[in-house]
Structure 1
């Protein structure tokens, strides 16, 4: 990334705020909802390690490697997770959205749908990319379902892709959305958002 995003990405119910060291305490509370660090296939930090996690994210940003956001639920005002844009390959006009985790109470709600809508809109309509990639652990079924739900298509599987801290080997599933698919994906995400609104109002 050439520079840090100036300001937030704001939706109807979610705000994506550029991460800062001031978010450490709120992110520690978010990750504790469901003890996400115990999910061996995910990459959420322990609350005691959150300060180092945020510092590492800020360092990535300073090198131009990513744009990192915390996810705030506008109705409660609470931080409920984090997500980022990374691996921006400008000559080939593609990037990745990843390193996403949410507190249990925010999972399978409007939060991920609206967050992805904000990020994808920024990627396709401001950064002018022609493809957005998503990657996840083969065993992370929740993540795979969420990625499919937003309209991404599976490209393939990178076998024996990474060695994890516990010594296990990760097979990585790769998905993407390409520019000609974006209008339909955008429409479908907005429909999903409306369905969440109607469900909440009943």
Structure 2
């Protein structure tokens, strides 16, 4: 499973390797809706964007993550960020997480196509056996969006994480397996072709 930088391009979005020069526009995207104010999100708050970037790069250097900046298809406007994380080469698994988009783009085809691009690459290029999604127990919106993707709920990791504010988080775990991927792919393609505005809005996982 290669963890080299990848560029993924669709009809609506382009996923480009996260770069330091993206930070000012990423900060502006996060400020669109003040996304960090929701306590169960992973969106960097003002003043923390640089440390958020440094941690992403550290994980990439260790081969544990591939972070992306989400652009519109023209690559002129930055809409948010997502990444492959918890990469497990030995067992051919990874997680899609740290996903967030500017509020003005959350009810759009952006997330549906992002997930289609990431899942296609994970299963068909990286040859994954499984792709995970994890989200906060309190993030009901994210859980419903993951379920609309076609992922199955594996369970809840109770008292899983101690967050920076001291809260102990319960984490809901979902996955899509290799043999399930063709059906999930067909469903996402159908959603995009039928009604681009009918998105699986996973904006705050």
TM-score (norm 2): 0.91
Unmatched runs of 5 consecutive residues or more in structure 2: 199-205
1:69 equivalent to 2:83? Answer no
Unmatched runs of 5 consecutive residues or more in structure 1: none
The structural deviation recorded for 1:51 is 2.0
| 1:31 corresponding residue in structure 2 | 30
| 1:112 corresponding residue in structure 2 | 111
CA distance in 2, matches of 1:158, 1:144: 14
Residues 92-147 of structure 1, C-alpha deviations (whole Å, 9 max, x = no match): 12111111111111213211110000000010001111110000001011211111
| 2:47 corresponding residue in structure 1 | 48
The structural deviation recorded for 1:173 is 0.3
More helix per residue: 1 or 2? 1
CA distance in 2, matches of 1:197, 1:84: 23
Distance 1:47 1:4, change over 3 A: farther
Q: How does 1:96-135 map to 2 (within 5 A)?
A: 96-135=95-134
Question: Aligned-residue CA RMSD in angstroms?
Answer: 1.7
The structural deviation recorded for 1:3 is 4.1
**Aligned residues between the structures:** 198
8 Å CA contact retained: 1:135, 1:175: yes
